[in-house]
Amino acid sequence: MDFRRISGLPPYVFTIIDGLKVEARRAGRDVVDLGFGNPDLPSPQIAVDKLAEAAHNTRNHRYSSSRGIPKLREAVAALYERRFGVVLDPEREILTTIGAKEGFSHLMWVLLQPGDTAIVPTPSYPIHIWGPYFAGASTLQVPMGDGDDGAGYIDRVMETWELGSPKPRAVVLSFPHNPTTSTVELADLQRLVDWARERDVALVHDLAYADMCFDGWQPPSILQCEGAKEVAVELYSLTKSFSMAGWRVAFMLGRTDVIAALQQLKSYLDYGTFQPIQIAATVTLNEAQDYPAELSAVYESRRNALVDGLARAGWDIHKPRGTMFAWARIPEPYREMGSIEFATHLIRECDVAVSPGVGFGTGGDGFVRFALIENEQRIAQAARSIRRGLTRLH
């Protein structure tokens, strides 16, 4: 049978590295896994306690609401006012989604159809590239650039749109960016909003790493921009900010007609996240307001351990201002390998697992991504192993 939608999907390259990691561990080797970005820190205790309490109430076992219970939408509205100074209407400008990945994918269904085009970054979190494809649309992939080149990405988006035919209907962006860790300033987001308002382009900003930021820097929300609600929606998630990955709680916020369209679609597709999870998330947003900063401090310490340890190994990489990752250009003596071969080499010679950059699109093939999902001691161990194993660096 010829299966629809998936026939064009490339092999999931991360499974190659995962298989090698499993094989090495079965052989008794101690592999430090810095590959999959799966948060290792616990969810807030208040979330766990409230979930257990709410789950014992049988009234919460019934169907919930696909748009999210009112108090949860009110809680995220309060967070946005505290964090960004942005006032949102919980009824018309906020929708709960079953994780940001689900919200983004279904958003593409209401924004795009066959014959439409979206602008997406490359390299990119895979669903940002493949979400438009699942909607039957095509993409124009715009290079993200190295370091903190968010302004450069925005310039390239504008140039690509002007040259594109037919004109793209949507622009996807995500800062701080996974995998490149690139960041952007509010003034550059404002430039993009002003540009989009003149061209009737929908902006989709995935703010997955809203609270994972270092060195005193704070990521902006696109909804802080003047006129943003006319053209933009933003995704905010509890996955990274509150280390609640498996809970699948996120929000689509902003432009009212887009929120209403997604809400209408979701009313046919789901009944929302299990209500005890929504109740626990509500209490967490209201009563664990300091938790994101506590998590961020842990990840900043891990970032320092990785960047400093690799520098001692002779591998200088960009020091990220945000996310839970580091994006590392393959060192010159190994660059001819490509990212899959180099990531394989790191497992076999250094007992360190990373993600090959090509898994995030062709624009990532000269890089690997480190996930900061081990403690400082394990990360330092990985850096020492890399120093021993990458002999061409000495």
User: Exposed/middle/buried for 376, CB within 10 Å: 0-12, 13-18, 19+?
Assistant: middle
Whole-number pLDDT of residue 164: 81
- The β-bridge partners of 121 are 142
Whole-number pLDDT of residue 11: 63
Cα 202 to Cα 213: distance, rounded to the nearest angstrom:
27
Whole-number pLDDT of residue 224: 98
Whole-number pLDDT of residue 72: 97
Q: Tell me the per-residue pLDDT of 174-212, one tens digit each, with 9 for 90 and over.
A: 999 999 999 999 999 999 999 999 998 999 999 999 999
Whole-number pLDDT of residue 15: 78
Residues of the chain with pLDDT under 70: 10-13
Assess contact for 126 and 360: CB atoms under 8 A.
yes
Whole-number pLDDT of residue 107: 98
Assess contact for 361 and 124: CB atoms under 8 A.
yes
Whole-number pLDDT of residue 277: 97
Domains in the chain, ordered, with CATH? 13-42+291-389 (3.90.1150.10), 46-288 (3.40.640.10)
Cα 30 to Cα 43: distance, rounded to the nearest angstrom:
27
User: Exposed/middle/buried for 136, CB within 10 Å: 0-12, 13-18, 19+?
Assistant: middle
The CA dihedral of 45, 47, 51, 54, to the nearest 10 degrees, is 110
End-to-end CA distance of the chain: 53
Whole-number pLDDT of residue 363: 85
